[in-house]
Amino acid sequence: MNICKKSDIGKTLLDIYDRLYAEFGPRCWWPAETPFEVMIGAILTQNTAWRNVETAIENLKRNNLLSPEALFKASPGKIAGLILPSGYYNLKAKRLKKFLDYLFEKYDGQPEKMLRKRTSKLREELLSVNGIGPETADSILLYALNRPVFVVDAYTKRIFSRHGLIDANDSYEQIPALFTENLPKRTKLYNEYHALIVCLGKLLCKKNPDCPHCPLMSLSSTTNPPIPPFTKGGF
DNA sequence: GACCAGGCACATC
DNA sequence: GATGTGCATGGT
């Protein structure tokens, strides 16, 4: 993973957070009106730009389908037509239906009932739903259910491996430990931190991995390899 | 026209 | 276990 002492890693992680916060300010994630909307957005944004997801969510709202009951009753074909702008619409329509099947089977279609269950059990359940992987499950836990879970995405891996804090070969399950074992276990901190990482990741110059505008560049030694180019597939 | 975006499941080796 | 591929629209 890395060779720094634990206390040093914690200080470095907080330093990075402070720099990002100073650069970008509070991100106030997740951009949604209800926990259910967060859950739907988490599925729709899989490998998709958020602006396209916004259009899809607006379509669902306009058709009064952004409630568990309405979406549960809607046909996959109807849903696919409305979420078309988010891409992978047939696939995502099926994934939404699978998630709603789970929500109704376990929680009577009421997301607030999920709050009664332990985080580890909820994560296990979410991962068992076809179409919900680690990042989507953790996004739901953190942003919809306010659990202190650190969300890792391709940006996190790219940026923190660049700065030598994780290994580029670390699995998804290894990376959150860097944060949860070295930072205070606070939902609000994890919420902002991940949102700030995404904000930075979007801005980094794709064609110039050593982007001099990156607010973290002074953390890097000259021996660090350049940020690897983004590759499809993630983990 | 090429590349990328707040992944995931499945097939193949 | 690791790697490759399909899923797909819309912005740059």
Residues A161-212 pLDDT 10s: 888 899 888 888 889 999 999 999 999 999 999 999 999 998 875 545 555 5
Closest residue, by C-alpha, to the C1' of B7: A46
Residue A228 has pLDDT above 60, yes or no: no
Contact A68, A111 (CB under 8 A): yes
Cβ count within 10 A of residue A230: 13
CA distance A143 to A31: 9
A62 touches strand B (CB under 7 A): no
pTM over 0.85: yes
Two structure tokens written together for A46? 């899989």
Round to a whole number and report the distance in Å from the CA of A192 to the C1' of C1.
34
| Average pLDDT of the segment spanning A62-83 | 98
The answer to whether some atom of strand B lies closer than 7 Å to the beta carbon of A24 is no
| Strand C: positions under 7 A of a protein C-beta atom | 2, 4-11
Which nucleotide's C1' sits nearest to the alpha carbon of A42? B6
Cα–Cα distance between A83 and A63 in angstroms, integer? 11
Give the model's pLDDT for residue A226: 42
Nucleic strand B within 7 A of Cβ A10: no
Calculate the angstrom distance between C1' of B12 and CA of A4: 39
B chain positions with any atom within 7 Å of a protein CB: 3-10
Q: How many angstroms is C1' of B7 away from CA of A4? A: 31
Check whether A104 has a pLDDT greater than 60.
Answer: yes
Answer yes or no: is A212 CB < 7 A from strand C: no
